[in-house]
Amino acid sequence: QRLAPVPDAAFVAPDPRWEFPRKQLTLEQPLGEGEFGRVLRARALNIAGHSGYTTVAVKTLKDGACAGELADLLSEFALLQQVRHPNVVRLLGACSAGCAAGEPFLLIIEFAEHGSLRSYLRRSRHAESDGALPCSEPDALALAHAAAPRPRAAPPRRAPPPATPRDVLGFAWQIAKGMAYLSDIKLIHRDLAARNVLVAEGGICKISDFGLTRDVYEDDTYMKRSKGRVPVKWMSLESLADHMYTSKSDVWSFGVLLWELVTLGASPYPGVAVHNLFHLLKTGYRMQRPENCSPALYRLMRLCWHENPDERPTFKELMAIFEKMLEDGV
């Protein structure tokens, strides 16, 4: 594996509480990559109190990443150190020693055998008896893979069983639990989406990708200063208008995630160009109820997309609602 050295090694100081020896880490195949980052499957010897080998996921930067991307990865490292919850991805360690000598910075997190929730949902479509997709939009991911097959990529994961409405509620409940925990400890995720939730063994959802996560200020608001990557179709009106981020803007994103769940991983606002979205939302437009979505679940989505953040439910309330729905067998 050719991995990128860190853009500015001076930023990376080894933390003895988390430092893991590189020689005890065997990198295996890539699991996926974004514009600047890469995730690899690896085996770690004697990590996080577990003796013997553990399959782990390693996040690192790609060649060409700049100091800003390193800052995001290091901020993810710092934030993951503060969290411990069954529905939040667990930090296992990091390799920082040697970065000054050109070694890559490696963040080691728990491995989720089913990958991202988005890909899990999309794969679960193909398990349907007639093989038909519930949505007519083109499968952008499948097309991208078909156009550029990646050598040495991880073997494709098996299609999970079709996701039932109860599975969807169960996923929503788990994610609401993880988010209730994060908002309790005053962390705002800022990039909550199905692509950033992992599915581990037994269908356990783990909130992940904390690169954009921030500690909130005293008034519970995070103001984003610079531009940078923005997940427009998951963003609340106030985040789009004023760069205002609170747990209630995470609740808006959660509403979009609910829509992704119900549509088994479709892309939100199909046909809407990102530059038109703000105006549309401001004039009251919201995504329609997907065909297979219960009126009760759709009402919840609409509440999450309330223009006034105070009118949106909290994650604790959402958690309780899903618990009740699961109990009632809705």
Binding-site residues for ATP, please? 59
Q: What are phi and psi of 250, to 5 degrees?
A: -65, -35
Please answer whether residues 62 and 105 qualify as being in contact, where contact means their C-beta atoms are separated by less than 8 angstroms: no
> For 116, which DSSP code?
B
- Facing residues of 311 across strands? none
246: contact with ligand ACK by CB under 6 A = no
Look up residue 185 and give its two tokens: 């400890």
CA atoms of 78 and 82, how far apart (whole Å): 7
119: contact with ligand ACK by CB under 6 A = yes
Q: Which stretch binds ligand ACK (CB under 6 A): 9-17, 63-71, 93-101, 112-120?
A: 112-120
CA atoms of 245 and 308, how far apart (whole Å): 13
* Cβ distance to ligand ACK smaller for residue 16 or 202: 202
> Which one of 36, 111, 210, 245 is in contact with ligand ACK (CB under 6 A)?
111
Adjacency order of strands within the sheet including 37-47: 25-33, 37-47, 50-61, 106-110, 91-95
Which single residue brings its beta carbon nearest to ligand ACK? 32
Q: Which of residues 16-35 bind ligand ACK (CB under 6 A)?
A: 31-32
39: contact with ligand ACK by CB under 6 A = yes
109: contact with ligand ACK by CB under 6 A = yes
* Cβ distance to ligand ACK smaller for residue 62 or 214: 62
Q: Which stretch binds ligand ACK (CB under 6 A): 115-123, 131-139, 274-282, 310-318?
A: 115-123
Look up residue 154 and give its two tokens: 């991880």
199: contact with ligand ACK by CB under 6 A = no
**Rounded-to-10 torsion of CA 148, 154, 165, 262:** -30
300: contact with ligand ACK by CB under 6 A = no
Per the annotation, binding residues are 59
83: contact with ligand ACK by CB under 6 A = no
Please answer whether residues 171 and 87 qualify as being in contact, where contact means their C-beta atoms are separated by less than 8 angstroms: no
Catalytic residue among 72, 191, 209, 250: 191
116: contact with ligand ACK by CB under 6 A = yes
128: three-class secondary structure by DSSP? coil
The contacts of residue 82 (CB under 8 Å, 6+ apart) are 185, 187
Q: Rounded to the nearest whole angstrom, what is the least distance from the CB of residue 325 to ligand ACK in the complex?
A: 27
215 is catalytic: no
124: contact with ligand ACK by CB under 6 A = no
Look up residue 188 and give its two tokens: 């705002």
Active-site residue set: 191
The contact set with ligand ACK (CB under 6 A) reads 31-32, 39, 57, 109, 111-112, 115-116, 119, 198
